[in-house]
Amino acid sequence: MTGSKTKIFGVLGHPIGHSLSPVMHKAFFKEKKINADYFAFDVDEKNLGDAIHGADALKFCGLNVTIPHKISVIKYMDEISEEARLINAVNTIKFDYVKDLIIGYNTDGIGAINAIEKNLNDGLKGKKIFILGAGGAARAIIFSALSNNAEISIYNRTVEKAILIGNDVKEKLNKYLKVVHLKNLKDELKDNDIIINATSVGMFPNADECPINEYCIPKGKVVMDIVYNPIETKFLESAKKRNCMTINGVDMLVEQGAEALKIWLNMEPEEYLINIMKKSIIKKLKNKPKN
């Protein structure tokens, strides 16, 4: 039961009602018998600084940050990690009460990389990855994958956003991002090992949408969707029909959560705990109301 000694964690976002973070973190604390609790907080942009400094004053142990605050939260940090600097977004905050610092991290990119590596039982070095999308999540995956020596191509509906990421990658990592245009999409996809949907296309309630036509998906590749609701998106359904190996968005969600726990608790969550977190999310998604 939550009491005065309970370690408090939470997630800040707006809206926040559908966040699955409390479910998986509570499952972890329960299994590990850690006296901790995790809450979802709906915070408006204008109150973001107060919310963070309030959590600091109340001796919260850690926070996650989600849409739309991942970039604007940076200005309230005393320090940010190298990943957060490269990605230019923070999704995890640690309150260091010894050094009196609020430190921002980004675990989205490493979460995606861990999900891929665990499914493939292999590293990303030299792998060719095609990213669909150029939003915040795409950006996190691109910087982390390039740091793991993968080669990346990108296609986005708004090509200018893909070009901007390409410029940033060149400036910060001195690496090259191949920006693909719609007319070359089908041909360019063939030349890759892993294809990742990092757009929000196919996300509930628009679950019948697919980011690309089924016949553009090359046969026999690894296909990942970072959308986790529904668990099996139309994109993954189509990829299976093309004999691709698929990785769903729940894996990334759980891995980025496990990385946050590592930062907060200075411990590596064992695989069985990661599986318990994953099961808690799958159970929640399968039991969700259908509207």
Ligand X SMILES: NC(=O)c1ccc[n+]([C@@H]2O[C@H](COP(=O)([O-])OP(=O)(O)OC[C@H]3O[C@@H](n4cnc5c(N)ncnc54)[C@H](OP(=O)(O)O)[C@@H]3O)[C@@H](O)[C@H]2O)c1
Nearer to ligand X, 124 or 281 (CB): 281
Q: Quick one: which H or E segment has residue 189? A: helix 185-190
Query: Which stretches of the chain bind ligand X, using CB under 6 A?
Result: 67, 108, 111, 133-138, 156-158, 161, 198-201, 203, 226-228, 249, 252-253, 256
* Pick 71 or 101: Cβ nearer ligand X: 71
The reply, when asked if residue 228 is annotated as ligand binding, is yes
In the bound complex, which residue of the shown chain has the CB atom lying closest to ligand X? Answer: 135
Distance CA 97, CA 100 (A): 5
For 263-271, which contacts have Cβ atoms below 8 Å and span 24 or more sequence positions?
263/62, 263/92, 263/94, 263/105, 263/107, 264/9, 264/61, 264/62, 264/92, 264/94, 265/34, 269/28
**Residue bearing tokens 């493939």:** 120
Active-site pick, 32, 33, 46, 70: 70
Question: Which residue number, 43 or 56, has a Cβ lying nearer to ligand X?
Answer: 43
Closest contact distance (angstroms) between CB of 131 and ligand X is: 9
Residue with Cβ nearer ligand X (157 or 283) = 157
Query: Could you identify the residue written with the tokens 């990742």?
Result: 196
Tokens read off for 176: 């090259």
Is 137 flagged in the annotation as binding?
A: yes
Is 54 assigned a ligand-binding role in the annotation? no
Query: Residue 286 catalytic?
Result: no
Cα angle for residues 145, 160, 74 (degrees, 5° grid): 60
Report DSSP letters for 40-55, one per residue. Answer: EEE--GGGHHHHHHHH
User: Per the annotation, does 227 bind a ligand?
Assistant: no
Shortest Cβ 276–ligand X spacing (Å) = 17
Please give the positions annotated as active site.
Answer: 70
The binding site consists of: 19-21, 66, 82, 91, 108, 133-137, 156-161, 226, 228, 249, 256
